Amino acid sequence: MKYSKSTILTMLCIVGILSIGVASMSGFSTSDTSETTASDDSSDDPFSKVMQVLTHKRCVNCHPAGDAPRQGEDSHIHYFDVARGEDGHGLEGYTCNTCHQDENNHYSGVPGAPHWGLAPRSMAWEGKTPVEIARQMMDPKRNGGRSHKDILEHLTEDALVLWAWNPGVDAEGNAREIPPVPKEEYIVAVKEWIEGGAIIPAQ
Amino acid sequence: MKVTFTINGKPSSVEVSDGNSPLLWAIRDGLDLKGTKFGCGKAACGACTIHIDGHAIRSCSYPVKMAEGKTITTIEGLAETNHPVIQAWKEEIVPQCGYCQPGFMMATAAMLEQNPNPTDDDIDQNIINVCRCGTYYRIRKAIHKASEIQLKSSINESQ
């Protein structure tokens, strides 16, 4: 109800929706995490493969630094003043599920996956380096008390995370970009990295 | 495929060849409930807003197959109960052309369920539908009016 001229023009021209990223991180249990560092910056090691995915727009769009999701290939602020809300699933009368359902909608171009929503503020990845993201992700004080096992499951089994490899098409029918590492390769890399001690490079 | 649900308090079903077709088509063309409007077809404008299990949903982007077993309310359902939003919209003479108004009214009713006494900021943040006639000022007044009617009604019921 507070549309500027430019916002309305944007709605008219770009109502194509919503390439939102992935990965809500809430509701976890115990932790057995402690940070370990090493100095491996190879781009082909498991850590780097994992981080090539986690820093991709399909993930970061819903791990924003602020209270608004980002969307699209250019990660612009989500149109229509969409906001985080108290639980990361939108506002009282206007939740994520008002538009986003459990699967992609190829008619409208609205993406969807189970429990569509934002990651908690403590798990904001936008603007952070891979090392910073990893430290944050493995820190039980910031990751909702998740253990290594919990993180492993979230990264490799959560339907919302894996949506990144099945992101559907936008309102114009254009396929959304998927992360640069194939899903199966990414899953193997996550397991190798975490089961190997979740060692985080020094930088 | 057959999809069965409750709509405006009545058991109903539709037969569709494509379960992914929009629920909006089933409501308008299958059940002949024409109050819910098609606007943008991309979940952006809000003209097609209905309630599914009490939550505001953009029916143009909701596959009909997902409606199986759900409880749906459309603007016709709101009218049948003379919902406070209906009363307020009439009192404030909100519509101009009226096309988008059912969506606004459904969005408002959903918000009032969660927030019975919204501030102007709450309205700005929650009611993001589009009205090409620019009736936003009257909509805002009507939302406050609907809130008053609803609160008075709930007080009377509790006495």
pLDDT band at A42 (very low <50, low <70, confident <90, very high): low
- Check pLDDT > 80 for residue B14: yes
Q: What structural domains does chain B harbor?
A: 2-77 (3.10.20.30), 82-158 (1.10.150.120)
Decide if A94 and B22 are in contact by the 8 Å CB cutoff. no
pTM of the model: 0.83
Interface check for A166 against chain B (CB to CB < 8 A): the answer is no
- Domains held by chain A: number: 1
Decide if A15 and B40 are in contact by the 8 Å CB cutoff. yes
Q: What is the ipTM score, two decimals?
A: 0.88
Q: Which pLDDT does position A202 carry in this prediction?
A: 86
Alpha-carbon gap, residue A116 to A102, rounded angstroms = 8
pLDDT in tens, B93-150: 999 999 999 999 999 999 999 999 999 999 999 999 999 999 999 999 999 999 999 9
Q: Which residues of B touch A95 (CB under 8 A)?
A: 55-56
- Residue, of A179 and A28, whose pLDDT is higher: A179
- The answer to whether A101 and A39 have CB atoms below 8 angstroms apart is no
What 3-state DSSP class applies to B74? coil
Element (H, E) at B147: helix B136-158
% of chain A at pLDDT higher than 70: 79
Decide if A93 and B110 are in contact by the 8 Å CB cutoff. yes
Alpha-carbon gap, residue B32 to B22, rounded angstroms = 15
- The answer to whether B46 and B111 have CB atoms below 8 angstroms apart is no
- Check pLDDT > 70 for residue B153: yes
Phi, psi of B138 (to 5 degrees): -70, -35
The stretch B14-42 carries a mean pLDDT of 97
- Check pLDDT > 50 for residue A19: no
Q: How far is CA A91 from CA A54, A123, A161, in A?
A: 26, 20, 22
Decide if B42 and A1 are in contact by the 8 Å CB cutoff. no
Decide if A94 and B128 are in contact by the 8 Å CB cutoff. yes
- The answer to whether B64 and B21 have CB atoms below 8 angstroms apart is yes
Decide if A17 and B43 are in contact by the 8 Å CB cutoff. yes
Domain that holds residue A173: 5-201
Give A155 to chain B, closest Cα distance, Å.
27
In chain A, which residue's Cα lies nearest the Cα of B42?
Answer: A108
Q: Could you tell me which of B99, B116, B107 has the C-alpha nearest to residue B73?
A: B107
pLDDT in tens, A127-162: 999 999 999 999 999 999 999 999 999 999 999 999
In chain A, which residue's Cα lies nearest the Cα of B140?
Answer: A1
Hey, which bits of B8-152 come out as E strands? Answer: 10-15, 49-52, 55-58, 71-73
The stretch A179-200 carries a mean pLDDT of 97
% of chain B at pLDDT higher than 90: 96
- Check pLDDT > 50 for residue A29: no
In chain B, which residue's Cα lies nearest the Cα of A98?
Answer: B57
**Helix/strand/coil (H/E/C) assignment for every residue in B47-58:** CCEEEECCEEEE
